[in-house]
Amino acid sequence: MSGLELVFERDFEFAPVIVWDALLDSDLVSGWLAEAVIDPVVGGEYNLRWVNRVGQPESLGRITALQPLERLHVDTTTVGLLRFELEEVPGGGRGTSTRLVLRVDVEVESAFAARVSADWLTNLDQLDDLLHGHPVDWAHWDRDRHEAWSQHLDEAANSAG
């Protein structure tokens, strides 16, 4: 295994306070990432149960950095280090948007790097859907999301090779 840093950048047409809540509120995180138990303070738990990934162990995490509306770092047992950075940018229907930069530091076999990238690209798609009022229906994830995930996997594999 080797250390890998994946970097994703996505603009959301919502103010940072809205995107921020979707990163720290257990119910909202459960609507886009995984079933979550979160204590939103430095040192607080950030635990994720991957309901759509058979065999994936629960990810136990701790919040290591928390600067409201700007920075959230979470160190996890199975996902690695997650670093969410938010920046208010112009745009969106209300004149303000949020640029989210997500850095994922993970130990992974190089053969699985495209899969990890596809997972996070899909997660960010799901975050966008949640912000637009459409949380993930985990019972129907395969029906609703698998095709988009497969497309992200193909794109990640092609860009790596």
Q: What is the pLDDT along the chain (161 residues), one digit of tens a residue?
A: 467 889 999 999 999 999 999 999 999 999 999 999 999 999 999 999 998 877 778 999 999 999 999 999 999 988 889 999 999 999 878 889 999 999 999 887 777 888 989 999 999 999 999 999 999 999 999 999 999 999 999 998 888 65
Residue 35 near residue 48, CB atoms below 8 Å: yes
pLDDT 10s digits, 49-59: 998 877 778 99
Rg (CA), the chain: 15
> Given this model, what pLDDT does residue 57 score?
85
Q: What is the pTM of this model?
A: 0.93
For residue 159, the model assigns a pLDDT of 84
- CATH code of 45's domain: 3.30.530.20
The helix (H) or strand (E) run that includes residue 78 is none
Q: Count the domains in the chain.
A: 1
CA-to-CA distance for 32 and 24, rounded, in angstroms? 12
User: Helix (H, G, I), strand (E, B), or coil: what is residue 72?
Assistant: strand
150-158 long-range CB contacts below 8 Å, 24 or more apart?
Answer: 150/118, 152/117, 152/118, 152/121, 152/122, 153/114, 153/115, 153/118, 155/118, 155/121, 156/113, 156/114, 156/115, 156/117, 156/118, 156/121, 157/114
The neighbouring-strand residues paired with 102 are 8, 84
Q: What is the structure's pLDDT at 122?
A: 96
CA distance 34 to 129: 14
- Residue 38 sits in which domain range? 2-160
Q: Which of 127, 100, 117, 113 has its CA nearest to residue 151?
A: 117
